[in-house]
Amino acid sequence: MRQDSLPLPVLRLTPLKHVKRVVIAVLGGTLLVMGVVMVVLPGPAFLVIPAGLAILALEFAWAKRWLRSARALLPRRAKGAALPRKKFTLQSVRRSAGFLFRQVHRTLRPKRKIS
């Protein structure tokens, strides 16, 4: 293949930049695939998918566009606005204490033998 028939961005890449691009593609692609798998399986897919896209966006324009469109879906806060405070009600404290008590009770209770 002749040098002048290659696209301009390919001509400018040095071997080190090729290696960097491959490493970013493998790392970002792996994270992106793991995030998509975590949509079905238990795991923090909503954190892993944007992380994979952010890594891929370092080298690829399509990933940057996807990341930008994903950010547009998130609600925005006004500058300087504080995070909304979580309300602790008596009912939420009771439910949490009851759950904790049941878990401790199940853990410490002796196992019954089934005969």
More confident residue, 60 or 109: 60
Give the tokens for residue 23: 């490493």
Burial of residue 40 (number of CB atoms within 10 Å: 0-12, 13-18, 19+)? exposed
List pLDDT tens digits, range 43-95: 888 889 989 999 999 998 888 888 888 787 777 766 777 767 777 788 888 88
List pLDDT tens digits, range 4-58: 555 555 556 688 888 898 999 999 999 999 999 988 888 888 889 989 999 999 9
CA angle 53, 59, 62 (to 5 degrees): 55
Tell me whether residue 96 is in a domain: no
Tell me whether residue 35 is in a domain: yes
List pLDDT tens digits, range 95-105: 888 888 888 88
Tell me whether residue 57 is in a domain: yes
pLDDT at residue 13, as a whole number: 65
pLDDT at residue 95, as a whole number: 85
Q: Based on the structure, what is the number of domains in the chain?
A: 1
Distance CA 104, CA 81 (A): 40
Tell me whether residue 105 is in a domain: no
Tell me whether residue 109 is in a domain: no
Kindly tell me if the per-residue pLDDT of 2 is higher than 70.
no
Tell me whether residue 85 is in a domain: no
Domain enclosing residue 15, as ranges: 3-74
Tell me whether residue 61 is in a domain: yes
Tell me whether residue 79 is in a domain: no
